Structure 1
């Protein structure tokens, strides 16, 4: 069991490094947050660079980042969960009826883009979190900017079966 855990940890670290290289910031782009926790890899994109205010249409910068991520994900197995988040500021009512609807629409746009780049739909799940799970203080502009994000969570799945020692 320890051998499998060690192998998974090594594969997760290797995948995380591949993702970091693929998503290295372009000139003018905000850095992408990448972390690992509980056998998962978390990737966080700033929504301000990915979507116009109150909209769920992908902007070019995020689309290019997702293209590079899809190239890495094509060589992996496991579930890919896309979570959309917003700040607590009300949006224009003519665009989205609520922050929850906006976060869900943005997560859907990201998942659809990954699917169009070859990631199987049965690997993808979508969750709109709206104003839940803030990472910044919604009372400040900087905090609200941190809360407007899309996260992708990659479940760790071994890419090959561990070999058992011969007896």
Structure 2
């Protein structure tokens, strides 16, 4: 633990690069690419479906896909940018003030990353009555109505 910032530090540069690569590319970069790719493909597929267009369901699905892609970009992009910055400035001499500012920036970008994942839950909670009912049933599992079956004579 660093006595200056009070956060854990890496003892070797190789482990630091591996950790930043793993967090920046694997946990942030790949989800952004996958979400954007499948969002675009789903949008194209929804536009081709005539039944959904007639029922005007295509607008709701398009809006949900767009918000998911936007949440992923807003939530994970700062984290990827910060990790790239951390790798680039890894060998620079840093003052205690700069290390504290970087620790704050790291925590803020981590908070934005959690928005990307938690935001999807709230997106579905606000947009889908079926999802709300399912969540309510799962949380209130002990209050499920009991079925009474009459005896056959």
Q: TM-score, normalised by structure 1?
A: 0.27
| Bigger strand share | 1
Q: TM-score, normalised by structure 2?
A: 0.28
| Bigger helix share | 2
Structure with larger Rg? 2
